């Protein structure tokens, strides 16, 4: 269910980016296609959310249930529409839609036991196939010579960003492990030293030598 909510959020965010692409493109055909595409993505977002809501209602009432709504694994989250040209954007979209189509195919096939959710994926999958195909057709139209290079670049940048995400998650995990080791290995050492120092101190007030007992007329 959280996965559905996360998918819903991704679709709606993607829809917003594509709406922005429709605003900035100078190509009237692309503008029309981007508008259709954006409306599709918004609809996908609503379908996912509705299905998640229906599943939530079907659950036995558990007021303590908490949803993790920290959405982060967006397929389109690195997209900065204003910095893309028509061809780089189409290549990026084509690669992203292809990935979405294959991911949703897996989900559809895995959800044999849940026909309602399965039909949501089935419905969305039709659109994703259309998005995957029109972005390729249009990329070939606007950049007949360089479309293959654009697609490879988009694939590479997607892999690179996935690698960076993985690497930063790994770095976070390693940081956590090191902090835990420090907590259990170094803190007890300091605690032991502090206790030993405490034992050496004589209890109560201690008299000090008269030289150190002058009035505080200087800083030292």
By CB under 5 A, name the binding residues for Fe ion.
11, 41, 44, 97, 128, 131
Q: How far apart are CA 196 and CA 42, in angstroms?
A: 66
Residue placing its CB nearer to Fe ion in the complex, 94 or 131 = 131
Q: How far apart are CA 105 and CA 121, in angstroms?
A: 8
Least distance (Å) between residue 89 CB and Fe ion: 14
Determine if residue 173 is left, alpha or beta; phi over 0 gives left, psi from -120 to 50 gives alpha, anything else beta: alpha
Least distance (Å) between residue 118 CB and Fe ion: 16
Residue placing its CB nearer to Fe ion in the complex, 20 or 179 = 20
Q: Are 180 and 121 in contact (CB under 8 A)?
A: no
Residue placing its CB nearer to Fe ion in the complex, 109 or 174 = 109
Q: How far apart are CA 77 and CA 12, in angstroms?
A: 11
Least distance (Å) between residue 20 CB and Fe ion: 15
Residue of 89, 12, 87, 18 whose CA lies nearest to 52: 12
Determine if residue 179 is left, alpha or beta; phi over 0 gives left, psi from -120 to 50 gives alpha, anything else beta: alpha
Residue placing its CB nearer to Fe ion in the complex, 17 or 128 = 128
Residue placing its CB nearer to Fe ion in the complex, 65 or 109 = 109
Residue placing its CB nearer to Fe ion in the complex, 11 or 87 = 11
Q: How far apart are CA 115 and CA 120, in angstroms?
A: 9
Least distance (Å) between residue 168 CB and Fe ion: 26
Least distance (Å) between residue 104 CB and Fe ion: 8
Q: Residues near 199 by Cβ (< 8 Å), separated by ≥ 6?
A: none
Q: How far apart are CA 186 and CA 132, in angstroms?
A: 55
The residue whose two tokens read 């293959």 is 148
How many residues does this entry show for the chain? 220
Least distance (Å) between residue 110 CB and Fe ion: 18
């Amino acid at each position: 269910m959280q996965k559905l909510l996360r998918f819903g959020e991704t679709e709606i965010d993607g829809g917003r980016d594509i709406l922005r692409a429709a605003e900035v493109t100078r190509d009237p055909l692309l503008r029309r296609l981007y508008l259709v595409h954006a409306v599709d993505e918004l609809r996908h977002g609503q379908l996912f959310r509705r299905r998640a809501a229906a599943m939530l209602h079907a659950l036995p009432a558990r007021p303590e249930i908490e949803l993790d709504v920290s959405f982060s694994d967006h397929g389109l989250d690195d997209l900065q529409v204003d910095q893309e040209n028509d061809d780089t954007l189409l290549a990026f979209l084509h690669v992203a839609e292809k990935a979405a189509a294959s991911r949703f195919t897996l989900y559809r096939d895995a959800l044999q036991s849940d026909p309602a959710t399965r039909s949501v994926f089935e419905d969305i999958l039709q659109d994703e196939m259309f998005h995957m195909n029109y972005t390729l057709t249009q990329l070939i139209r606007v950049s007949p010579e360089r479309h293959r290079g654009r697609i490879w670049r988009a694939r590479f940048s997607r892999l690179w960003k996935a690698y960076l995400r993985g690497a930063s998650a790994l770095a976070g995990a390693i940081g956590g492990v090191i902090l835990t080791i420090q907590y259990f290995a170094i803190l007890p050492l300091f605690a032991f030293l502090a206790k030993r120092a405490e034992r050496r101190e004589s209890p109560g007030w201690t008299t000090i030598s008269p030289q150190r007992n002058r009035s505080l007329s200087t800083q030292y």
